[in-house]
Copies of this chain bind each other. A is one copy, B any other.
Amino acid sequence: MTLTYALELIGTFVFAISGALAAEEHELDAFGITFIAFITALGGGTTRDVLLGIHPLVWIADTNYLLTIFVAVAVAIAFKQYILPLRKTFFLFDTIGIGFFTILGLKKALLVAQVSPLIGVIMGMVSATFGGVLRDVFCNQVPLIFRKEIYATACLVGAGIYLFLEKISPYTRLNTLLTIFIIIIIRFVAVKYKLSLTWKR
């Protein structure tokens, strides 16, 4: 098992737990919670691959992703009271997750579908954020990232920086870490100083 694969499953696990907790708040049943956990964790990559026409989808070819989600849902339901107080830790994991998924999505779009850099950056952002968008649509809410928080924008900036770093430096692993670090900084600063992309109207 490569490091990237392990990180992908861990990211899937973290996103599935946050999806399951969100679903619980909407008083869904066990099936609804599992569906929302699934779409939160795998909706972004699925949207990216359907738009790019890449088949088979990752979770269809490799059932470890689904098994990871089933475990995450069981953990989220069983240990809810222990997980909920860990919101800050989760915020960190979630941000690491979107950074990581942004870069993976960017790379897949560039290498497998051979898209232009602009589309690659957008597909990186779609991979990282569209799971949350679909989660909100299925829970009947205007998607959170359309209203507040610098979230998708952090992914776009991170993806752009990663492309730049790859041009000037051959150390892919270092570039990845640096990019994820920059995405974390952007989100932390934005949340701390309540920055947003809105303006007075």
Q: A residues bordering B, Cβ < 8 Å?
A: 23-24, 26-32, 35-36, 46, 50-53, 55-57, 60, 63, 66, 113, 115-116, 118-119, 122, 133, 137-143, 145-148, 151-153, 196-198, 201
Cβ B31 vs Cβ A152 within 8 A: yes
Cβ B153 vs Cβ A31 within 8 A: yes
Please judge, given known A-B contacts A50-B51, A140-B142, whether A63 and B116 are in contact too, CB under 8 Å. Answer: yes
Q: How long is the Cα–Cα vector from A186 to B147 in the complex, in angstroms?
A: 37
CB distance from A109 to the nearest CB of B (A): 9
A152 neighbours in B (Cβ, 8 Å): 31, 35
CB distance from A182 to the nearest CB of B (A): 18
Cβ B29 vs Cβ A147 within 8 A: yes
Ranked nearest first, the 5 interchain pairs of A and B with the lowest CB-CB distance are: A32-B146, A53-B55, A30-B197, A29-B197, A29-B198
Residue of B nearest to A153 (CB): B31
Q: How long is the Cα–Cα vector from A46 to B197 in the complex, in angstroms?
A: 27
Residue of B nearest to A151 (CB): B31
